């Protein structure tokens, strides 16, 4: 057993011990429902209620604070945190229902998915004028005016990129993309779409539906950043195509895409919003690079690259290809 693996077990055991104290329980049933390098989630059944215990690495242990801001200042549809341990980088939250994906896999409901998406975009718009509240607690500021320089800082890590599978020529090509990325960021900034919170993995699996009330809750908020809102929506659309075998021409897909953009059409024409989405689709790859680099720092380079070897180089090769044709 590696020291790293043993350390993770010890950390989880400490968190579970704390959770039992916080819940005032001496006996609980537990089940690990998520286990990655960047988070672990344990379902806790006390016999009367269900709770979830989440732990993360120290450098991305922001979720409890993010949820508090969203709940206190915006009455957002987020989990109810009942206890938080900053030292152990973990928190306890109440059960909020079933994942939307598990519902849609049984019977696809376009209207329900569209309702969840429009609820999320409404939140993004509401938060847009108050992003400093998140930046002040450590949420990354990846707004478009900062993105080109942040991109360059990651690309300078030549040894990292080559270790993940890129050639020296490809790294050189990536360096030369800086002016194009700068231009695209400036162009996207020209639309009347305010930058706000980005949930990088916003999708139907990170959306919960409560059984009785049918309330919608957005989860997995720890890796939020401040950037262009369409980066969340592009991930949602990608996940829809991936999990439900929808093509971009399918009627259901077009309805879902419209739901993603509808609230933003209050600020720009439909044509402009669609054009902005196309630009964002290129820059989404740059956003993905920044998100991956953040996880490298949080989880450890060797650990993450071993766990996801080739993911970074695949993303950057796609960026090179897209920029050649855009």
Average pLDDT over residues 206-229: 94
pLDDT band at 102 (very low <50, low <70, confident <90, very high): very high
CA–CA gap between residue 315 and residue 309 (Å, rounded): 12
Query: Do 197 and 317 belong to one domain?
Result: yes
* pLDDT above 60: residue 1: no
What CATH number does residue 28 fall under? 3.30.200.20
Model confidence pLDDT, tens digit, residues 260-312:
999 999 999 999 999 999 999 999 999 999 999 999 999 999 989 888 999 99
Segment of 145-154, 204-213, 306-315 carrying the highest mean pLDDT: 145-154
Query: Do 43 and 119 belong to one domain?
Result: no
Q: Are 306 and 163 in contact (CB under 8 A)?
A: no
pLDDT band at 25 (very low <50, low <70, confident <90, very high): confident
* DSSP annotation of 204: G
Query: Do 56 and 202 belong to one domain?
Result: no
Q: Are 208 and 217 in contact (CB under 8 A)?
A: yes
Whole domain around residue 261: which residue ranges?
98-325
* pLDDT above 80: residue 213: no
CA–CA gap between residue 52 and residue 94 (Å, rounded): 6
Query: What percentage of the chain carries pLDDT values higher than 70?
Result: 98
Nearest Cα residue to 43 out of 16, 79, 69 = 16
pLDDT band at 196 (very low <50, low <70, confident <90, very high): very high
CA–CA gap between residue 43 and residue 54 (Å, rounded): 9
Query: Do 126 and 241 belong to one domain?
Result: yes
Query: Do 104 and 56 belong to one domain?
Result: no
**Helices H, strands E: what count in the chain?**
14, 10
* pLDDT above 80: residue 5: no
Domain count, the chain: 2
Nearest Cα residue to 318 out of 131, 173, 128 = 173
CA–CA gap between residue 226 and residue 284 (Å, rounded): 13
Query: Do 9 and 78 belong to one domain?
Result: yes
Question: Looking at residue 288, what is its pLDDT?
Answer: 98
Q: 145: how many CB neighbours lie within 10 A of its CB?
A: 12
Taking CB atoms within 8 Å and a gap of at least 24, the contacts of 255-262 are 255/110, 255/114, 256/110, 256/113, 256/114, 256/117, 258/114, 259/113, 259/114, 259/115, 259/117, 259/118, 260/117, 260/121, 260/233, 260/236, 261/233, 262/118, 262/121
Phi, psi torsion values for 6, nearest 5 degrees: -65, -40
Query: Do 129 and 223 belong to one domain?
Result: yes
Tally of CA atoms within 13 A in the half-sphere of 170 that contains its CB = 20
Average pLDDT over residues 95-102: 97
Query: Do 115 and 9 belong to one domain?
Result: no
Rg (CA), the chain: 20
Say which residue, 298 or 2, is predicted with more confidence. 298
21-35, 91-105, 108-122, 272-286: the lowest-pLDDT one = 21-35
Question: Looking at residue 153, what is its pLDDT?
Answer: 97
Task: Tell me the pairing of strands 81-85 and 90-94.
Answer: antiparallel
Nearest Cα residue to 108 out of 245, 210, 263, 206 = 245
pLDDT band at 12 (very low <50, low <70, confident <90, very high): confident
* pLDDT above 60: residue 4: no
What CATH number does residue 308 fall under? 3.90.1200.10
Write down the mean pLDDT value for the chain: 95
């Amino acid at each position: 057993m590696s020291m790293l693996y043993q350390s993770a077990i010890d950390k989880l055991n400490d968190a579970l011990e704390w959770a039992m104290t916080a819940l005032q329980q001496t006996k609980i049933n537990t089940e690990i429902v998520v286990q990655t390098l960047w988070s672990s989630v344990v379902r806790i059944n006390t016999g009367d209620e269900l709770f979830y215990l989440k732990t993360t690495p120290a450098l991305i242990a922001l979720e409890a604070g993010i949820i508090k801001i969203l709940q206190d200042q915006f009455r957002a549809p987020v989990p109810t945190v009942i206890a938080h341990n900053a030292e152990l980088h973990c928190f306890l939250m109440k059960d909020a229902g079933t994942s939307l994906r598990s519902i849609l896999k049984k019977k696809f409901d376009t209207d329900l998915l569209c309702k969840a998406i429009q609820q999320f975009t409404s939140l993004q718009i509401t938060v847009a004028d108050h992003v400093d509240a998140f930046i002040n607690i450590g949420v990354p500021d990846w707004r478009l005016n900062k993105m080109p320089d942040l991109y360059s800082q990651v690309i300078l890590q030549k040894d990292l990129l080559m270790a993940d599978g890129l050639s020296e020529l490809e790294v050189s090509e990536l360096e030369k993309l800086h002016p194009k990325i700068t231009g695209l960021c400036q162009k996207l900034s020209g639309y009347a779409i305010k930058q706000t919170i980005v949930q990088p993995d916003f999708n139907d699996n990170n959306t919960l539906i409560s059984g009785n009330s049918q309330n919608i809750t957005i989860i997995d908020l720890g890796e939020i950043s401040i950037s262009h809102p369409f980066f969340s929506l592009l991930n949602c659309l990608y996940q829809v195509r991936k999990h439900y075998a929808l093509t971009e021409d399918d009627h259901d897909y077009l309805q879902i895409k419209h739901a993603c953009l509808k609230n933003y059409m209050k600020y720009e024409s439909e044509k402009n919003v669609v054009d902005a989405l196309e630009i964002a689709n290129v820059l989404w790859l740059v956003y993905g690079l920044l998100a991956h680099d953040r996880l490298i720092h949080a989880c450890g380079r060797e650990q993450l690259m071993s766990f996801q070897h080739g993911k970074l180089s695949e993303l950057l090769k796609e960026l090179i290809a897209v920029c050649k044709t855009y």
